[in-house]
């Protein structure tokens, strides 16, 4: 049973607040204090949702709030706190008198994040990109000459980065990474050279012929769901791991799933979406990759990356259902994630797809039979 709405949304005013409305809130709070916000609109004579009133008070009207710009000291404090605890904006805001979580969050997303990117620092891990890619390349065969490996499941990543829905794609022709920025209001892309850590914004990614990722997706007329993978540079990693108030698996998964990217191309009997949404490791048919040909998502990589973090508690959204049923601790989730991460190889990718497809087809018939019975 879902939670009922806090108010009749069709009959309340929304949008920006007028000075008159602000005055009513201020008058009410000065008389009655805060608390029981659902009654505030009625008592204060406002045609607003109580929740909206509370937000207006806490984010704007509170007398202890600062409304001027962030100082360099505050900026540094935010960066340090974000490095330590991730996007726990309310916790960060508590360390900054006069600032709200909304202020801090907005300031991070509009200023600090970009500032770090331009400095060649990953705003998630707070490490220089050059270091990340050096570490990454050392264990993943990142710079190897295996062109067949570039666009398997392992090579398509969504950098689940706050609200920006970035995807990381590897170029076939050079070991660079593109962060595809899917921000609704900002379509700029960021290109990073892993060797140098150089960061460059580029809004014309698709026009650059040196990036050969599109031909890799020529599975006709199917949705290609690029699963966001929290294993890499994931905000979920830093935030969910470092916070004592851990999010639930379901919560993380739903967030991640919302950010799946869909690319549509022309037809094929093969379902990418099913393949990518299932867990190949659970299939005994799925070939395992030899240790000497570790791809980007080998368990070794995952562990190596994990070692660079304080803790590891990554959940792959594709396994949500399984985790919901099976896991009892984050340790298991880690194991599952690492196991999942170790799956697949470029050369056997098609075989794996075919196996998976036939297995799913047989299961579907079984399921249908059962249902009809």
Binding residues vs DNA (CB under 7 A): 1-4, 6, 9, 13-17, 35-39, 49-52, 54-56, 58-60, 87-91, 101-103, 105-107, 109-111, 114, 162-165, 184-188, 203, 235, 239, 248, 250-251, 254-255, 258-259
98 token code pair: 């006069």
Q: Which is nearer to DNA, 51 or 195 (CB)?
A: 51
61 token code pair: 């009207």
> Smallest distance from the beta carbon of 89 to DNA, in angstroms?
4
> Smallest distance from the beta carbon of 128 to DNA, in angstroms?
22
Q: What is the DSSP string of 58-89?
A: IIII-TT---SPPPHHHHHHHHHHHHHH-S-H
**Helices then strands, each counted (H, E), the chain:** 15, 7
Q: Which is nearer to DNA, 28 or 142 (CB)?
A: 28
> Smallest distance from the beta carbon of 68 to DNA, in angstroms?
10
52 token code pair: 């909206």
> Smallest distance from the beta carbon of 273 to DNA, in angstroms?
20
- Structural contact between residues 152 and 345, judged by C-beta atoms closer than 8 angstroms: yes
Rounded distance between C-alpha atoms, residue 131 and residue 195, angstroms? 9
Q: Which is nearer to DNA, 38 or 361 (CB)?
A: 38
> Smallest distance from the beta carbon of 121 to DNA, in angstroms?
17
Q: Which is nearer to DNA, 208 or 358 (CB)?
A: 208
Q: Which is nearer to DNA, 3 or 369 (CB)?
A: 3
Rounded distance between C-alpha atoms, residue 257 and residue 317, angstroms? 7
Angle between helices 249-258 and 235-242 (to 10 degrees): 160
Give the number of other Cβ atoms within 10 Å of residue 248's Cβ. Answer: 11
Give the number of other Cβ atoms within 10 Å of residue 100's Cβ. Answer: 20
> Smallest distance from the beta carbon of 347 to DNA, in angstroms?
35
Q: Which is nearer to DNA, 111 or 195 (CB)?
A: 111
> Smallest distance from the beta carbon of 105 to DNA, in angstroms?
6
- State the alpha helices, DSSP H only, in 126-206: 129-140
Q: Which is nearer to DNA, 260 or 345 (CB)?
A: 260
Q: Is 189 exposed, middle or buried (0-12, 13-18, 19+ CB in 10 A)?
A: buried
> Smallest distance from the beta carbon of 272 to DNA, in angstroms?
22
Rounded distance between C-alpha atoms, residue 53 and residue 25, angstroms? 7
User: What is the C-alpha radius of gyration for the chain, rounded to an integer number of angstroms?
Assistant: 24
Q: What is the DSSP string of 317-360?
A: GGGHHHHHHH-SSHHHHHHHHHHHHTB--STTHHHHHHHHHHHH
Q: Which is nearer to DNA, 203 or 288 (CB)?
A: 203
Nearest partner of 225 among 167, 165, 273, judged by Cα: 273
- Structural contact between residues 60 and 101, judged by C-beta atoms closer than 8 angstroms: no
Rounded distance between C-alpha atoms, residue 286 and residue 153, angstroms? 13
> Smallest distance from the beta carbon of 56 to DNA, in angstroms?
5
> Smallest distance from the beta carbon of 4 to DNA, in angstroms?
5
CA 148 to chain centre: 27
Q: Which is nearer to DNA, 158 or 216 (CB)?
A: 158
Residue written as token pair 């579907």 = 364
Q: Which is nearer to DNA, 66 or 322 (CB)?
A: 66
């Amino acid at each position: 049973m879902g939670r009922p709405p806090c108010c009749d949304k069709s009959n309340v005013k929304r949008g920006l607040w007028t000075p008159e409305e602000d005055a009513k809130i201020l008058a009410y709070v000065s008389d009655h204090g805060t608390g029981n916000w659902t009654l505030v609109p009625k008592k204060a004579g406002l045609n607003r949702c109580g929740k909206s009133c509370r937000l207006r008070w806490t984010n704007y009207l509170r007398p202890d709030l600062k409304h001027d710009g962030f100082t360099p000291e505050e900026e540094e404090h935010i960066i340090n706190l974000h490095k330590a605890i991730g996007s726990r904006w309310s916790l960060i805001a508590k360390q900054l008198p006069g600032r709200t979580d909304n202020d801090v969050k907005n300031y991070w997303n509009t200023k600090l994040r970009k500032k770090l990117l331009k400095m060649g620092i990953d705003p998630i891990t707070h490490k220089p990109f050059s270091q990340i890619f050096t570490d990454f390349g050392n264990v993943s065969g990142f710079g190897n000459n295996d062109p067949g490996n570039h666009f398997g499941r392992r090579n398509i990543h969504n950098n689940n980065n706050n609200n920006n829905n970035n995807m990381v794609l590897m170029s076939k022709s050079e070991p660079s990474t593109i962060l595809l920025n899917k921000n609704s209001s900002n379509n700029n892309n960021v290109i990073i050279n892993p060797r140098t850590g150089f960061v460059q914004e580029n809004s014309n990614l698709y026009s650059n012929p040196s990036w050969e990722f599109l031909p890799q997706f020529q599975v006709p007329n199917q949705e290609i769901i690029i699963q966001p993978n929290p294993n890499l540079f994931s905000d979920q990693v830093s935030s969910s791991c470092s916070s004592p108030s851990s999010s639930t698996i379901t919560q993380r998964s739903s967030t991640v799933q919302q950010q799946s990217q869909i690319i549509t191309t022309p037809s094929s009997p093969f379902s990418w979406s099913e393949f990518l949404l299932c867990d190949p490791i659970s299939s005994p048919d799925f070939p395992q990759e030899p240790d000497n040909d570790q791809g980007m998502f080998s368990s070794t990589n995952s562990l190596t990356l994990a070692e660079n973090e304080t803790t590891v508690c990554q959940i792959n959204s594709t396994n949500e259902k399984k985790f919901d049923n099976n896991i009892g601790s984050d340790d298991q989730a880690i194991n599952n994630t690492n196991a999942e991460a170790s799956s697949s190889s470029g050369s056997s990718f098609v075989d794996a797809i075919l196996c998976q497809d036939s297995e799913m087809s047989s299961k579907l018939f079984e399921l249908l039979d059962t249902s009809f019975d």
